[in-house]
Structure 1
Amino acid sequence: MDQDLQYRQVAPHPALREFVDSFWMLYNASDEAKPVMGLPDGRIDLFLSQSATEPFGIILIGLGTHAVEAVIPPRRLMFAISFRLPGAEYLLQADVAGLPDAARQMPEDFMGFGQKDLDDFDAFCVKAQESLLALLPASMDERKRRLHELIHASHGAASVQSLSERVYWSSRQINRYFNQQFGISLKAYCSILRFRASLEHIARGRLFPELNFADQAHFIREVKKFSGVIPKELFRNQNDRFILLSAIARE
């Protein structure tokens, strides 16, 4: 990763793992703006941020369905919580159905966070985990729990029909749930997760399909649909512009 871009990631408390993917920070230590490409990863992100040119703010970003060009302003600091879909539904306390490929400015005290929480990333992680642990539901719809477990276990490679049969929930009802709760269909979400899993392989130079793509051509089309480039260019990652891929490569 570009040395001016400082990145850290922290795994959540075990009790939060089905709700939260990670806590992470990104800091542009340069006095210059950094152009980057954001890639779909199947997560919903809550950001706290400020920079040399922008005031403190809290932003909620919904599910991404394609690559997005962005610029990280100079001296921009971001702390974030990446929610899995159950976390967005049960812990986030905000409507995300209208947010695919979109962002929403949240109140500056949303979920009890404020500007001072950007002073220390480790302290932010502790506070965020304590707050989220307190919001854990006493119970959860078991069909939803099982559905999300199966989706992630297959890395999005399972068909909607097979998932429906295994959770005893009709495809029509599942898609209604996904569209109403998250703003996209289950099939679209599974495609995003399969792409995200493929990034693990591409980051290590394995430029061939390892999940349930029909063939190499199908794999290339899907990667290009979500990233805008073919796998070879994605792996090359010139100037570390695909920031998610750079982060994966460092793990």
Structure 2
Amino acid sequence: MTGELYTIPFSHYCELARWSLQEAKVSFVEYPYLPGVHTFFGPMERIRKRRSGGESTGKGQGTPLYLTSDGQILDDSWQILSLTGLTGLPVSEDMKALLNYQIGPQVRSIVYADLLRPEKGCPVSWWQRGLWSLGGFRRKVSSVMKQQMVGDEERQAKTLKDFEEAIEKVEAELSKPDGCFQGAPNELTASALALAALFAPAVCPAEYTGGFVPEIKPETFSEAHQERIRQWRQRPIGQFTLELYRRHRMRCVSRS
């Protein structure tokens, strides 16, 4: 039996879910939606309400959503990560909060600040591409995304500052021989997978999404952001992420 994974295809939270399912050797079909399109046309809220007896779950059209082959719902990346059964220390609650509420949203905000424009090469249906090609719809969605996730220049500067502080905290844990990332990148652990997936957009691994979305190359971005990518790639967290992707990402794709 095959499950259903509903995503925004290039989302790093959805990448965490996708990679986890592939690593768990779970059969699934992915249904990708572009931002904005997913709000109006995605079935995620309908699925959630159907499984909760018609009650709103508060998560609306949020992705990822994994509907198992027997009808159960796994409602976020961390629930799906638990399917992998990977060995190694689990993600500590402090590190999970740091990754989920700081690193993840900050990466998204920084990348969107530089790259709010029509997506190209995403594996979405023709009608989604048609909607996104409509200038009015695209501008409206981009405006809402920028307002909600990016903000003005002052907010962007603060996000970059907070992001650097969050990186330092993660790198402090990476440096501990008995920290939650021990064994990686030689070994793939749940903690390492979570960190690599959520930090990946900052360093653009060639293997990001396991080939589901065409490679997002640094040259796609402005010169200023390309310089940030170069700097982040040289840091311990960047080297760790790139090496984990290089060693482990495509292995589970070819196996699935």
Give 1 or 2: higher strand fraction: 1
TM-score normalized with structure 1 length: 0.30
TM-score normalized with structure 2 length: 0.30
Give 1 or 2: higher helix fraction: 2
| Structure number with higher relative contact order (C-alpha < 8 Å, ≥ 6 residues apart) | 2
